[in-house]
Amino acid sequence: MNHWLKPPSFVGFHRQWVSVLLAAGFCAAGSVAQAQSTDTLAKVKAAGAITMGVRDSSGALSYTLGNGVYTGYHVELCNAIIANVEKAVGKKLEVKYQVVTSQNRLPLVQNGTVDIECGSTTNNATRQRDVAFLNTAYVEEVRTAVRADSGINSIAQLAGKNVVTTTGTTSVQLLRKHERADGINFNEIFGKDHADSFLLLESGRADAFVMDGQILAGNIALSKNPANFKITGEVLSVEPIAIMVRKDDPAFKKIGDDTIAAMAKSGELAKLYDKWFMQAIPPKGQRLNLAANENTRQAWASPNDKPAEAYQKK
């Protein structure tokens, strides 16, 4: 009875409909997986551990003392945040350290390798498309370090010189865009990390190192002969430096934001800043002597996660 057989057109329709249902199922599963991947509180509670992204040589914000020990202003601030995360999940968490670089820090936050990145990352509009930033606790001034006997005191004197910055950072781009750099041609070279960039300056292979002022000050303070270097007075840019977390995870971000806001209100944040930027720091007991600038104090007074673009000249 051939007329009772499903016609080819119906079979085709049936197969197409099954395909649509399967595709919808895969999309739903993908959405669930994505939701789970951004639920950091659930992730760390289940694992019993949280991974902090740290830097080897990001000045007083984040650096290593050796033997797997990391410290700094942002590292200590992240420890305070993690203490509140532990309260939220109701258990003590093992803190694991993951060293990040300027090149891999964003993808490691995005893919879940790092839960909270406590280094020296500029919060800007482009990066906000991929990650979230906590309230700003430090506003940086990008400047230039040179050898004290170089005679270099301004951007105009960088013509024909070798200028180093760290791969994956925005510093040389800022230098090129600076109004005083118009018509100034210099040779751009890169260090793989901040310590490598400073080594290029220290060894004479670079004439200037363009970077966040506190990173410059930190590397100078920890160098063999700090008196051999200086930071020029010209400010290339003002940038909010903030702690990174995964995007679209409001519960986790709120704990971080609330922690920073509470510490700012109580004065604890100012004391923490003084500890790392005005007092002697390990391992050599050097002082950076970088008083909090006005932009940093304003960020403490009115906690926010505004990107660097909000700080630019209008």
- Does 220 share its domain with 251? no
Q: Is residue 208 part of a domain?
A: yes
Q: Is residue 52 part of a domain?
A: yes
Q: What is the pLDDT, as a whole number, of residue 37? A: 55
Q: What is the pLDDT, as a whole number, of residue 313? A: 61
- How far is the CA of 170 from the CAs of 102, 104, 212, 237, in angstroms? 10, 14, 10, 10
Q: What is the pLDDT, as a whole number, of residue 215? A: 86
Q: How far apart are CA 269 and CA 187, in angstroms?
A: 40
- Does 226 share its domain with 297? no
pLDDT per residue, tens digit, the chain (314 aa), is 433 333 344 344 344 443 444 444 434 434 333 434 579 999 999 999 999 999 998 889 999 999 999 999 999 999 999 999 999 999 999 999 999 999 999 999 999 999 999 999 999 999 999 999 999 999 998 899 999 999 999 988 999 999 999 988 877 777 777 767 778 889 999 999 999 999 999 999 999 999 988 889 888 988 889 999 999 988 888 889 999 999 999 999 999 999 999 999 999 999 999 999 999 999 889 888 889 999 999 999 999 999 999 988 64
Q: Is residue 24 part of a domain?
A: no
Q: What is the pLDDT, as a whole number, of residue 50? A: 98
The residue among 174, 205, 238 that closes a domain is 238
The residue among 238, 265, 289 that closes a domain is 238
* Domain span including residue 129: 45-139+240-311
- Does 85 share its domain with 127? yes
Phi, psi (degrees; rounded to nearest 5) at 128: -65, -15
Tokens, residue 79: 């420890």
- Does 91 share its domain with 206? no
Q: Is residue 178 part of a domain?
A: yes
Q: Maximum Cα–Cα distance for the chain, whole Å?
A: 101
- Does 73 share its domain with 193? no
CATH number of the domain to which 183 belongs: 3.40.190.10
The residue among 204, 238, 272 that closes a domain is 238
Q: SS3 of 294, please?
A: helix
- Does 219 share its domain with 249? no
Place of tokens 């007991």: 285
- Does 177 share its domain with 59? no
Residue 146 DSSP class: E
Q: How far apart are CA 60 and CA 71, in angstroms?
A: 8
- Does 64 share its domain with 89? yes
- Does 135 share its domain with 145? no
The domain tally of the chain equals: 2
